[in-house]
A and B are shown apart, each in its own frame.
Chain A
């Protein structure tokens, strides 16, 4: 699996956009980028995923660079409830080790009032 690199911490003012970067320079052509978050003491929560096109859902947007070596998760209007650790994970979606996600330390996002 491609390794990901994320900043250990970021902060953002409430109501502003939070842009969380992730580097995955060794990503291969069949690997997807997944984002999860973990609010303190809770189980992780799936946010969004994509292969090469930008994706948007009700929670966030995912921007993947054209060379696919990095991506950015965007929370368009951050709220205090978005304070969490955000994990960027790169995985294939086929094959014998399906669903084996590897969580690193992620980015601690703190949204302040």
Chain B
């Protein structure tokens, strides 16, 4: 059971380049999230999705776009990379309607992160 898988693990971009951070989960979770974490800080929510075809902005959405065409995948797109987007990006998922046990939409499972530098 892989859980939440993020690719790539590391990336260096030049200013103005674009890229897509990939996130996939195999737990049949309805909710998926993208966070960024700057050095020494807590996580900030970029975008989230409550199901395929439904996305919404979090605290810091500017400069990013997302899509959710399937339950499993939630890619994050950076169109024009800027140095301010240098950060560690975490994808997370939560809540399966079909799952048993303790169910809370706030119990999130995180990927290992993507470390992005924009130079």
Interface residues of A, Cβ cutoff 8 Å to B:
32, 34, 41-46, 49, 87, 89, 91, 93, 98-106
Contacts and interface: CB of A to CB of B under 8 A. Distances in A.
Interface of B: 4, 31, 33, 35, 40-45, 48, 50, 58-59, 88, 90, 92, 94-95, 104-113
Given A41-B113, A46-B109, A93-B104, A100 B42 contact: no
A102 to B, nearest CB: 7
A44 B110 CA distance: 6
Contact of B104 (A43, A49, A87, A102): A49
A99 B104 CA distance: 8
A86 to B, nearest CB: 11
Contacts of A91: 106
Which of A89, A98, A105 has the most CB atoms of chain B within a 10 A radius of its CB? A98
A106 B106 CA distance: 17
Contact of B92 (A32, A34, A43): A43
Chain A interface mostly helix, strand, loop or mixed?
loop
B110 A99 contact: no
A48 B91 CA distance: 20
A32 B45 contact: no
B69 to A, nearest CB: 20
Given A42-B113, A98-B50, A87 B42 contact: yes
Contact of B106 (A87, A93, A104, A105): A93
A93 B104 CA distance: 7
Contacts of A102: 42, 45, 59
A45 B106 contact: no
Nearest to A46: B107
Nearest to B110: A43
A95 B90 CA distance: 24
12 contacts: A32-B106, A41-B88, A43-B90, A43-B92, A49-B104, A87-B42, A91-B106, A98-B105, A99-B48, A99-B105, A102-B42, A102-B45
B42 A106 contact: yes
